[in-house]
């Protein structure tokens, strides 16, 4: 497969590149998806350990390309640089892209736990929100996260997303039930 190294969405310290073989076969992605602290809040019990390279490949190849844009999140503390000088730190999925209702949903993972709290998810949401509204012509952006996920709550709030509903006891993680918070942002 030829990789798309030209398309890139950038902010101040964060860039998003199409998620391709470089990202899929990187040791980082496999490590993050086998890190319980990372996957316990993504709402997918089928990703509880262990996750093989083959399963990740099936997942990425199985994404509906007509409705999904999957990105690798790249970060550089000192500011935007060429891709090879930035660090691959996570993934950003824009899914359920609906051109008729002009909406899309976001799923985010900053897999490098040592970099949590540095504003990476917040900046990535800002960049991708701008892309979705200006290029994909989205009227509405949506997301959902476990109620206990403080980082997600703050990152979406900072980007103008509002809570639209709570799904009670909607996810069971093998220990307890969790409420899921649904948030949305309408482009007025
Ligand atoms: C949730 C997640 C995406 C947040 O990424 P991040 O890059 O650390 O987020 P940000 O740095 O932009 O954080 C936004 C705010 O939340 C705070 N925050 C981040 N993680 C936090 C945590 N675990 N506990 C408390 N506050 C947290 C940040 O300090 C920041 O606060 P501020 O606005 O007062 O400065 C990341 O922790 C992650 O990928 N977790 C595992 C996967 C996951 O849960 N994905 C979401 C599935 S819906």
Which residue's alpha carbon is nearest to atom 4 within ligand 1? 151
Cα-flanking dihedrals φ and ψ of residue 129, to 5°? -60, -45
* Pocket of ligand 1 contains residue 57 by CB under 6 Å: no
Question: Can you say whether the dihedral through the CA atoms of 49, 55, 61, 66 is positive or negative?
Answer: negative
Confidence of residue 63 (pLDDT cuts 50, 70, 90): very high
Atom 17 (ligand 1) nearest CA: 151
d(CA 125, CA 11): 10
pLDDT of residue 175: 86
For the stretch 8-25, pLDDT in tens is 999 999 999 999 999 999
2 Cα to the center of ligand 1, angstroms: 33
Residue-level pLDDT at 13? 98
71, 91, 116: which to mutate for ligand 1, most atoms within 8 A of CB? 116
Ligand 1 geometric centre to CA of 40 (Å): 14
Using pLDDT thresholds of 50, 70 and 90, give the confidence band for residue 37.
Answer: confident
Closest CA to 187 of 159, 149, 150, 146: 159
Number of continuous H segments (helices) and E segments (strands) in the chain: 6, 8
Q: Which CATH superfamily is domain 9-138 in?
A: Gcn5-related N-acetyltransferase (GNAT) (3.40.630.30)
Question: pLDDT tens digits, residue range 118-152?
Answer: 999 999 999 999 999 999 999 999 999 999 999 99
Q: What is the average per-residue pLDDT within 34-63?
A: 88
- Spatial strand order in the sheet of 14-18: 9-10, 14-18, 69-75, 87-98, 103-110, 140-146, 177-186, 162-172
Residue 80 has pLDDT above 70, yes or no: yes
Residue 2 has pLDDT above 70, yes or no: no
Pocket test for ligand 1, best of 11, 126, 151 (most atoms within 8 A of CB): 151
Confidence at residue 107, expressed as pLDDT on a 0 to 100 scale: 97
In angstroms, rounded to a whole number, what is the distance separating the alpha carbons of residues 106 and 49?
Answer: 24
- State the first-to-last Cα distance of the chain, in angstroms, to the nearest integer: 39
Ligand 1 atom nearest to 118, measured from its CA: 11
Coil, strand or helix: which one is 30?
helix
Cβ(91) to ligand 1 under 6 A?
Answer: no
């Amino acid at each position: 497969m030829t990789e798309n190294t030209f398309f890139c969405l950038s902010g101040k310290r964060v860039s998003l590149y199409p998620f391709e073989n470089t990202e899929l076969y990187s040791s980082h992605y496999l490590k993050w998806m086998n890190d319980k602290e990372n996957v316990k809040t993504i709402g997918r019990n089928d990703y509880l350990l262990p996750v093989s390279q083959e399963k990740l490949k099936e997942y990425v190849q199985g994404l509906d390309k007509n409705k999904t844009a999957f990105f690798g999140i790249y970060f550089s503390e000192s500011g935007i640089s060429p891709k090879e000088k930035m660090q691959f730190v996570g993934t950003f999925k824009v899914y359920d892209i609906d051109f008729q209702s002009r909406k899309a949903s976001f799923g985010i993972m900053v897999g490098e736990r040592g970099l949590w709290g540095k504003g990476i998810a917040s900046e990535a949401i800002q960049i991708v929100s701008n892309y979705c509204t200006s290029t994909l012509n989205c009227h509405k952006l949506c997301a959902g996260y476990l109620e206990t996920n403080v980082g997600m709550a703050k990152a979406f709030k900072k980007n103008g997303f509002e809570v639209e509903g709570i799904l009670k006891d909607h996810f069971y993680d093998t220990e307890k039930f969790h409420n899921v918070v649904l948030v949305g942002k309408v482009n007025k």
